[in-house]
Amino acid sequence: MHRVVSNQELAPAVHRLVVEAPAIARARRPGQFVIVRLDHGHERIPLTIADADPAAGTITLVVQAVGFSTRAIVATPPGGWIRDIAGPLGSPTHLIAQGFAVCVGGGVGTAVVHPIAEALHRAGVRLCSIIGGRSRPYVIYHEELARLGEVRVCTDDGSWGRPGLVTDELRALCAERRPDIVYAVGPVPMMQAVVAVTRPLAIPTIVSLNPVMVDGTGMCGGCRVTVGGEVRFACVDGPEFDGFLVDFTELRQRLATYRAFERAACAEEECRARAAGAPARNQP
- 221 within 8 A of 57, measured Cβ to Cβ: no
Q: What is the pLDDT of residue 281?
A: 43
Q: What is the pLDDT of residue 268?
A: 62
Segment 139-185, tens digit of pLDDT: 999 999 999 999 999 999 999 999 999 999 999 999 999 999 999 99
In sequence order, what E strands does the chain have? Answer: 2-11, 14-20, 33-37, 45-53, 58-64, 81-82, 84-89, 100-106, 126-133, 150-155, 162-163, 181-185, 205-208, 224-227, 230-233, 240-242
- What does the alpha-carbon distance between residue 49 and residue 87 come to, in Å, rounded to a whole number? 10
Is residue 264 a part of any domain in this protein?
no
Range of the domain at 57: 2-89
Is residue 203 a part of any domain in this protein?
yes
- What does the alpha-carbon distance between residue 149 and residue 129 come to, in Å, rounded to a whole number? 7
Residue 279, class by beta-carbon neighbours within 10 Å (0-12 exposed, 13-18 middle, 19+ buried)?
middle
Is residue 171 a part of any domain in this protein?
yes
- Which of 186, 208, 230 is the last residue before a domain boundary? 208
Specify the pTM. 0.86
Return the CATH number at 185: 3.40.50.80
Residue 167 φ/ψ, nearest 5 degrees = -70, -30
In this structure, the answer to whether residues 27 and 62 fall within a common structural domain is yes
In this structure, the answer to whether residues 115 and 164 fall within a common structural domain is yes
Is residue 244 a part of any domain in this protein?
no
Peptide bond into 163 cis (omega under 30): no
Return the CATH number at 24: 2.40.30.10
In this structure, the answer to whether residues 130 and 74 fall within a common structural domain is no
- What does the alpha-carbon distance between residue 58 and residue 17 come to, in Å, rounded to a whole number? 10
Q: What is the pLDDT of residue 233?
A: 87
- What does the alpha-carbon distance between residue 118 and residue 140 come to, in Å, rounded to a whole number? 15
Torsion angle defined by CA atoms of residues 16, 262, 86 and 214, in that order, rounded to the nearest 10 degrees: -150
In this structure, the answer to whether residues 114 and 50 fall within a common structural domain is no
In this structure, the answer to whether residues 105 and 63 fall within a common structural domain is no
Q: How many domains does the chain have?
A: 2
In this structure, the answer to whether residues 79 and 114 fall within a common structural domain is no
Is residue 60 a part of any domain in this protein?
yes
- What does the alpha-carbon distance between residue 165 and residue 133 come to, in Å, rounded to a whole number? 8
- Which of 167, 186, 208 is the last residue before a domain boundary? 208
What residues of the chain score a pLDDT lower than 50? 280-284
In this structure, the answer to whether residues 82 and 153 fall within a common structural domain is no
In this structure, the answer to whether residues 25 and 51 fall within a common structural domain is yes
Amino acid making up residue 243? G
Q: What is the pLDDT of residue 258?
A: 61
Q: What is the pLDDT of residue 200?
A: 96
- Which of 208, 237, 257 is the last residue before a domain boundary? 208
